Amino acid sequence: MPVLRFILAQVVAWALVYAALYLGVPLRGVALALTQAVAAAGLAHVLRSERWWRWVHLAFTPLIWAASQFNVAPGWYLAAFAVLAVFYWSSFRTRVPLFLSNRPTLNALAKLLPTHSIHFLDAGAGTGTVLRPLARQRPESSFVGFEAAPGPWLIGYLLNRRQANLLWRRGDFWQHDWSMYDVVYVFLSPVPMADVWGKAQRELRPDALLISNSFPVPDVEPDRVIDPESDGARPLYVYHPGRTRSAKRQKKG
């Protein structure tokens, strides 16, 4: 588990620093913090943590040392922790941070949707930056968004509550049945994409679309890749999971 590896690397790195101090190595202040950070990052590499965890290790103790140089009341640190917890509620478990889709990508997504009435799911919907404009553009269609973190969910609830064709839900989209949807949109991270593909293959109809913002399904060729020609736009990877499932069944038959 990533968090356990993080804790293990930090504890062992501190043990090495204390051993060095016991042997008389003159480590103080920023030198001590940097030594512990480099040791923790090296241990994270040995433990095969993802690369971005190593950057967290490199910054963790030096930032604590830097913060200790300022006369900041402890309550501010608690407040900062609370804000981060509210917005990144389960990121340590899912390894999916909060991403917000930008306008150029949203415009490209809107062009990909079928012209008839559809059921659209945004799995991991953030604050609803995708769902609100799409629901306004397509009043004949229904839109559903799932968000687990309480902060983004509350913001989305306040902004989306008057949109009649938008259902805003707090919860785990993994526990939700996808079989009713014509389009499932995800903007997650590389980590869960293989599981997203498995769920989509099991539950989506043959004509349904899976559209992933920025992160492709590993080892699966997308049906289309949309790369909007605009600054800041992100690529969209388009799949027909149900068709792939049907094709595999035909080959076996």
Directed axis angle between helix 150-160 and helix 74-87, to 10°?
60
- Give me the pLDDT at residue 246, please: 47
- The backbone region for 120, taken as left when phi is positive above 0, alpha when psi lies in -120 to 50, beta otherwise, is beta
Looking at residue 7, what is its pLDDT? 86
Amino acid 249: pLDDT = 47
Ramachandran bin of 214, using left for φ above 0, alpha for ψ from -120 to 50, beta for the remaining angles: left
pLDDT the model gives residue 105: 83
Q: Of how many residues is the chain composed?
A: 253
pLDDT at 251: 47
Residue 1: the pLDDT is: 57
Question: What is the pTM assigned to this prediction?
Answer: 0.67
Q: Consecutive sets of 10 residues in the chain, 253 residues long: mean pLDDT of each?
A: 79 93 89 93 87 84 84 65 55 51 82 94 90 94 91 88 93 92 92 92 94 93 82 81 58 49
Quick count: other Cβ atoms within 10 Å of Cβ 171? 11
